[in-house]
Amino acid sequence: MKYWKAAYIALFFGSFVSVSTFAQDGNNFSDDAFVGKKFKGSITGLYVQKFERPYKNWWYGALIKYDDYGSREVYIYPEGKEPNFFGVLGINCSSRSASWTFASNTFEKITENEGLIRELVPKEVVRNAIKHFCSK
d(CA 85, CA 83): 6
pLDDT of residue 35: 81
Domain that holds residue 46: 2-133
Q: Which residue has the higher pLDDT, 95 or 107?
A: 95
Kindly state the average pLDDT of the residues 18-44.
Answer: 66
pLDDT higher than threshold 60 for residue 63: yes
- What 3-state class would DSSP assign to 126? helix
The pLDDT tens digits of the residues spanning 99-111 come to 999 999 988 999 9
- What 3-state class would DSSP assign to 57? strand
pLDDT higher than threshold 70 for residue 25: no
pLDDT of residue 122: 95
Total domains present in the chain: 1
Catalogue the E-assigned strands of the chain: 43-50, 56-66, 71-80, 86-92, 97-104
pTM: 0.77
pLDDT higher than threshold 90 for residue 59: yes
d(CA 97, CA 109): 22
